[in-house]
Chains A and B, each alone.
Chain A
């Protein structure tokens, strides 16, 4: 018999957790315990084992070794038992049903019934209470598919809160949020913690950790590096512990290359969520598109490359003085446009295929003769590109799905590098990517521009946008609201153009 300590019983304790996937050990002997009312950060690079650990805590997967204890009781009977014990996990990938309403999604899995019939009144009241608790107002009857990504994130949290959890786990909740929305979310979490909920908070964004968290647990390569009170450490110490190597992040380097001729010219672009945009990108120039999530930037770039239909407007790509009209996605690719989509897992990669297959796919014509694949050429080609983008480990025959987010993103970029694109469009190139891979991706983007490519970057990560771009167009409601360069481009100027003073829930 083990007697729990009288005071300060942890809400959740995990000890000696080990989880292997095949030969790889994703989590290696990690222990963590979180007190009620505490906000406990878990940080680490992509692939450090954070998400796996969280899924073990939530009972979604079973550990190979170690135990999870909630309020003194062992929990080992799967996700339902953990949910009943009071653990709620807000996934990194949103898990809402697009066709169902906000209210239906919030009660999904715990739908209240009367004699087997769904009680609409109680559904509405539970959903309304949960939304009120997190202070967000959304129409309960709105289908999820009509909400913006950020609002969906809040609904997802409301769904977790509706279950009155003892422990709330959030996996990268701010990845898709704007600074104002993030601000709101962080305040809300502090309020929830004050009511006695233990919160485990996973984030790549170190400033957020220092703003709201009480303790921080740092993971690297599946192992626990340390757990310390936030008050006893500094952001740079945490980053050093995360990456375990010295990072030379010369964040303030400004490119000096002078832009060349106009490569991309888009005129009067109209599409769903895009209301008349003119845009030019020159050779050796990196143009950034800033704005809030849902401002229409993704829709704009998709309309430019022809990935989605345009309602109006013309796009041309000028290569060596020859003007190529871009009328369809096929013509965009043939003319020399590379497009790195926002959602790499659904739009960027065939996850069940190898790194080699994925990189070879857009280059298949160059890698085949008379329609027959040249296997030797593919191997050489892919190996050299894997080296260029810094794929780690450089095992090109491995399934892409087995790699971490940062590596996957490198593969998506490598797909286009081999074609030496005249214009490359990157939509959120480093979302969910660790610090090291992020620096490497930035280096790749700069190198492309230095070699003469025109680059168009969409990013909700303000420091990234400011750091990469020579020129920033700020988009709101599908229009370019302003263009910033040089000293005029800073966080405040971008945000004031982007937000138009609108806030979440207002």
Chain B
């Protein structure tokens, strides 16, 4: 499944796979294999390990809990995959975007209704996407610094307007209701993650826009000289991230029925972890939202195992940090090996 994301491979499928037969087989490159396909094996092995050796993992309440925690992070990560593939590193401002959306959904809908909160949240998301996208895409500013700054602006604005207070939704409100619906052990939010992943996979692999995002990530100048409006491509990547962050904000607000400006702290890095561990290259051009989904599952299960084993938050942080260093190193080494 995760292997079939490139346009060319899709053509091969559309053409009955006949084009592949004459291709020279590349020599097996272990690092490239780990970097591109490893996540499938790692995820399966980790889940098997957890089921067999970790007490309490394979219980329904625990699985529901893993889904609840994975959904908002996952939604942010599949969206942010567009920014990473466009070779713009990451969007740090998802921290502010998710929290702002959550506060808007609870705060605004308390006073003006759900529909109004959606409208405001959508406007804010488009504004985030446009500001980040214009600064990075048109002014060619560094994405890390721009989004670090918009995080500050966004969180500052949110704290100023909300007064730093915690917002609570009504116990019988529609947001609360959404957060409580489950199909068996699977909460509705996990289905939202799945649907968004499928939509974004389709956008990235099958649409004109997604094609230009991948081309831009592979070679910016060649893509510009092919007549692509590259500024719009970058804006598009940041808008998709912002829209995903908005949905994640809704899911997160629904989970606890509360919203506060600090509720998405650490989302930037955890989303990046899922993307990179999934095997999307930080050099741009190569990657897929399906891999990011696997990366989200891997990181969520790993975190859950550590929690169930009574290992503290400090160690969890360390583990995820170490995993990212390993994943980006493998990515870089595989890229170098491929060049030889």
| Chain A interface (Cβ < 8 Å from any Cβ of B) | 20-24, 61, 307, 329-330, 333-334, 339, 341, 346-354, 356-358, 360-362, 364-365, 368, 371-373, 375-376, 378-379, 393, 395-398, 415
Contacts and interface: CB of A to CB of B under 8 A. Distances in A.
Nearest to A22: B26
Interface core residue of B25, B211, B228 (most chain A CB under 10 Å): B211
Interface string B219-254: 101111111110000000000000000000000000
Contacts of A379: 11, 14-15, 19
A360 B215 CA distance: 10
Contacts of A365: 208
Contact of A397 (B20, B206, B224): B20
Contact of A353 (B20, B27, B208, B285): B285
A20 to B, nearest CB: 7
B22 interface: yes
Contacts of A360: 7, 211
A356 B7 contact: yes
B201 to A, nearest CB: 14
A79 B173 CA distance: 69
A364 B14 CA distance: 18
Contacts of A356: 7-8, 11
Given A21-B27, A361-B223, A350 B15 contact: no
Contact of A375 (B7, B24, B209, B215): B7
B19 A362 contact: no
B10 interface: yes
Contacts of A351: 218-219
A232 to B, nearest CB: 37
Chain B, interface SS category: helix
Nearest to A378: B11
Contacts of A396: 8, 19
16 contacts: A22-B26, A23-B25, A330-B227, A334-B227, A347-B221, A347-B222, A349-B222, A350-B219, A351-B219, A354-B6, A364-B211, A368-B208, A373-B208, A379-B15, A379-B19, A397-B9
B23 interface: yes
Contacts of A393: 22
A385 B219 CA distance: 22
Contacts of A364: 208, 211-212
Contacts of A376: 11, 14-15
B286 interface: yes
A23 B27 contact: yes
Nearest to B28: A22
B14 A341 contact: no
A346 to B, nearest CB: 6
Nearest to A355: B8
B27 A20 contact: yes
Nearest to A402: B24
A23 B26 contact: yes
A76 to B, nearest CB: 16
Contacts of B19: 379, 395-397
A329 B215 CA distance: 18
B11 A397 contact: yes
Contacts of A334: 227
A352 to B, nearest CB: 5
B83 to A, nearest CB: 18
Closest 7 CB pairs of A and B: A333-B227, A22-B26, A350-B218, A23-B24, A350-B219, A354-B8, A362-B226
B12 interface: yes
Given A372-B206, A373-B7, A396-B19, A22 B223 contact: no
Given A350-B285, A396-B19, A415-B226, A371 B207 contact: yes
Interface in B241-285: 285
